[in-house]
Amino acid sequence: MKVELHRLPFEMNALEPYISKKTLEFHHGRHHLTYVTNLNNLIKGTKFENIDLETIIKVAEGPVFNNAAQIWNHTFYFACLKPEKNYTLKGPFADVIKGSFGSVSFFKDTFVKSAVSLFGSGWIWLVMNPKGSLEIIQESNAGNPLRRGLIPLLTCDVWEHAYYLDYQNRRIDYIEAFWKLINWQLIEKRYTFATEIGPIVQWISTFVKASADKGMVIS
């Protein structure tokens, strides 16, 4: 199975002025592509060649894990963004957020603080745990919550390559810009779907596959 670079679900300049065309050209066209190329080279002729990306992420270590997870994480991250700016977090999913975090503003503050305080490179995730509660977690480097038995709903890439061209060292400014681009309708759809399939054994694999089929993970 050859892993393919997933196309961006929007034009390169669609997220301006918050994330520039130049940043996306490097982020998707160079960094994301490099992970795809690396993984295909690494798995050729190995036991990983014919298994799906999520399984590789759950069982592999070292460079194979790093490149596989970075591919999945980036595809998921780009899908979280939408050119129509300032989607507001409202309606039933805002109530879910309030149930887990107390208020939408505390949720945002916690997410931003987690993103700013993550040392070095990594990812901030909003996830659903097996009890059905939502959590914000930090993952360093290529970390992916599927390995912890958690269902990813939203992620923010805090590797410097995600923001340095636009914001240099000002990660906080990038996080605020990212917040304006979040497609909350999609995040809610992922949550609703995860709650519906929750009791199923192997629920993470089921979630990933079925939500990908429905275009919720990768488009």
Q: How far is the CB of 29 from Fe ion (least distance, A)?
A: 12
Nearer to Fe ion, 33 or 137 (CB): 33
Nearer to Fe ion, 35 or 184 (CB): 35
Nearer to Fe ion, 159 or 184 (CB): 159
**Hey, what are 90's tokens?**
């409202």
Nearer to Fe ion, 10 or 203 (CB): 10
Nearer to Fe ion, 41 or 141 (CB): 141
Interstrand relation of 134-140 and 151-157 (parallel, antiparallel or unpaired):
unpaired
Q: How far is the CB of 27 from Fe ion (least distance, A)?
A: 6
Q: How far is the CB of 197 from Fe ion (least distance, A)?
A: 28
Please return the burial class of 5, using the count of CB atoms within 10 Å of its CB with bins 0-12, 13-18 and 19+. Answer: middle
Which residues are CB-contacts of 187 (< 8 A; sequence separation ≥ 6)? Answer: 80, 93, 126, 153, 154
**Hey, what are 108's tokens?**
């945002």
Enumerate binding residues for Fe ion (CB under 5 A).
157, 159, 162
Q: How far is the CB of 138 from Fe ion (least distance, A)?
A: 15
Please return the burial class of 145, using the count of CB atoms within 10 Å of its CB with bins 0-12, 13-18 and 19+. Answer: buried
Interstrand relation of 122-128 and 151-157 (parallel, antiparallel or unpaired):
antiparallel
Q: Which residue is nearest to Fe ion (CB)?
A: 157
Strand runs labelled E in the chain:
122-128, 134-140, 151-157
Q: How far is the CB of 123 from Fe ion (least distance, A)?
A: 9
